[in-house]
Amino acid sequence: MSEADGHLSVPTKDIVEWTRTFVRHPSPQTERFEHEPQVQSFIAEQVAPLVQALGLPWRRDPMGNLLVELGPERADKSLMLMAYAMTHPANRMPNPYAGELIEDATGAHVRGRGVSEQKGSLAAALAAVKTAADTLRRAVNGDTVTYVVTRNINYTNICYFRCQFCAFSKGKLSENLRGRPYNLDMDEIVRRVAAGATRRRRP
């Protein structure tokens, strides 16, 4: 477990915790490979929520692998991460899925099945991809956050379609529910458009 702080946008302690969490979820390699239910549950329950929390764009391919892709299509430079982790059987390792953090004279280590196979490298790869995504975002957009005010002008709430899910429209049978029916005139619509136009996007 080497110190990566300063080089990655993800703290080393987070990478360690990801690795321990990955180890605690068995995903043994079997003759079913990617179709092994424990491998698919590992991706769905451990990797996908983490990638989602990191704000990375991702998708699942037809085989169930999780793909993270950065950069525009057909660009000279792009990055793809395919995430899955199949490990050898537990064999005789004590507590193979405990994800223990141990320390000795050489430093701190995570012990468990899959750490040195795919799960430790998957945690490190996710940290690297997150760093690459942050670098790309900063290069394209900088550190300025913007938002857009969207205004929907509902010129009437009178409707007779009787959609079962609608809690907005009104007809003769609901004149006393959720306020009175209205039908905005053109002057009021113009006023609301002007009011929306004055609310400019701000950094």
59-118 residue pLDDT tens: 998 888 899 888 776 666 667 777 767 776 666 777 888 888 888 888 788 888 878 778
How far apart, in whole angstroms, are the C-alpha atoms of residue 112 and residue 57? 29
**Does one domain contain both 109 and 184?**
no
What is the mean pLDDT of the segment spanning 120-145? 87
**Does one domain contain both 159 and 121?**
no
pLDDT at 55 over 50: yes
Q: Could you give the angle at which helices 120-141 and 12-23 cross, rounded to 10 degrees?
A: 140
Average pLDDT value over all residues in the chain: 81
Q: Say which CATH number the domain at 59 has.
A: 3.40.630.10
Of the residues 87, 106, 141, the one at which a domain ends: 141
How far apart, in whole angstroms, are the C-alpha atoms of residue 77 and residue 110? 34
**Does one domain contain both 136 and 180?**
no
Domains contained in the chain, number: 2
How far apart, in whole angstroms, are the C-alpha atoms of residue 142 and residue 144? 6
Q: Which domain holds residue 104?
A: 12-141
**According to the model, what pLDDT value does residue 2 have?**
47
Of the residues 126, 141, 156, the one at which a domain ends: 141
**Does one domain contain both 97 and 162?**
no
In a domain, 118, yes or no: yes
Radius of gyration of the chain (CA): 26
**Does one domain contain both 170 and 100?**
no
What percent of the chain stands above pLDDT 90? 25
In a domain, 3, yes or no: no
Of the residues 141, 161, 186, the one at which a domain ends: 141
In a domain, 203, yes or no: yes
**Does one domain contain both 80 and 26?**
yes
pLDDT single digits (tens) 11-49: 989 999 999 999 999 888 888 888 889 989 999 999 999
**Does one domain contain both 175 and 87?**
no
**Does one domain contain both 72 and 100?**
yes
**Does one domain contain both 32 and 124?**
yes
**According to the model, what pLDDT value does residue 187 have?**
94
**Does one domain contain both 135 and 149?**
no
Structure tokens at 119: 């799960």
**Does one domain contain both 77 and 42?**
yes
What is the mean pLDDT of the segment spanning 193-199? 81
pLDDT at 146 over 80: no
| Paired sense of beta strands 58-60 and 66-70, if any | antiparallel
Structure tokens at 73: 């299509």
**Residue among 107, 101, 124 nearest 11 (CA):** 124
pLDDT bracket for residue 6 (50, 70, 90):
low
